[in-house]
Structure 1
Amino acid sequence: MKIQGKMFIWLSAFLLVVAIVYGVWSKEPAGTTALFLAFGLSIMVGFYLGFTARRVDVGPQDNKEADVADDAGELGFFSPHSWQPLGLGLGGATAFLAVAVGWWMMYFAAPLILLSIWGWVFEYYRGENRTQ
């Protein structure tokens, strides 16, 4: 985490310089404010990462001789053959189409989205504790 903290600190220094130059040169308040807010966000993240790096063990990202695989963790379980994302995508596309064509299409999109989410959540809910 040390290197990420240093990167954010350098980014905040760069953003501060850019915000000052932009503010003086353009005299435009919205962009200047956005740049100063970006400076504030990056300094907060950099300070947090630097503060936390001193209190935790050295991670693989701080070891110069570490491999990429050393930082890999468990990725989780992903369903190999689920059809529910297709239904959810079709329902989402229909919902976005309803904004352009007409809100009446939401009557078709909402049930498709809800059924797809329900099917995806309970796809592997089997066994003695399942609902009847």
Structure 2
Amino acid sequence: MKIQGRMFIWLAVFILAMAIVYGVWSKEPVGTTALFLSFGLSMMIGYYLAFTARRVDAGAQDNKDADVADDAGELGFFSPHSWQPLFLAVGASFAFLGVVFGWWLMYFSAPIIMISIFGWVFEYYRGENRTQ
């Protein structure tokens, strides 16, 4: 993760330099804004990866002498199935369609989005997965 964090931070520095050069030469606000937002996104990802790399053990990707087999095994917990992202996507689709057809669709999309987020956050706190 250290290497990926450094890559994103250096990418952010490059994008910042290009945003400044582009903004000065073109005086075009939309592209300049997009480049500055890309800089911010790259910095967030780079900082997250660098911060997380300090908290977890070094992986095989951080060792120059590692083999592919060194990274085999369990990598973490991933939800085997969940319907909540599908319902969240349906709610978000209705919300974006509300911009096209009318804001009245927000009355239908907001409850779907809220219930889906609530269900996704708390899906392991009910039924057989509930902790005592």
TM-score (structure 1 length as normaliser)? 0.53
CA distance in 1, matches of 2:11, 2:66: 25
Pick the structure with greater CA Rg: 1
Which runs of no fewer than 5 residues in structure 2 stay unpaired? 75-132
The percent identity for this pair of structures is 80
Question: How far off is 1:72 after superposition?
Answer: 4.2
Which has more helix, going by share of residues? 2
TM-score (structure 2 length as normaliser)? 0.53
Deviations 1:20-51 (A, max 9, x none): 00000000111101100000000000000000
Say which SS state the counterpart of residue 54 (structure 1) adopts. helix
Runs of 4+ aligned structure 1 residues displaced above 2 Å come to 68-74
Name 1:12's counterpart in structure 2. 12
User: In angstroms, what is the RMSD of aligned CA positions?
Assistant: 1.2
Question: How far off is 1:67 after superposition?
Answer: 1.3
Query: How many residues are aligned here?
Result: 74
Letter in 1 for 2:51: F
Name 1:42's counterpart in structure 2. 42
Name 2:120's counterpart in structure 1. none
Letter in 1 for 2:5: G
Letter in 1 for 2:46: G
Name 1:56's counterpart in structure 2. 56
Alignment of 1:91-130 (within 5 A): none
CA distance in 2, matches of 1:70, 1:37: 37
Say which SS state the counterpart of residue 64 (structure 2) adopts. coil
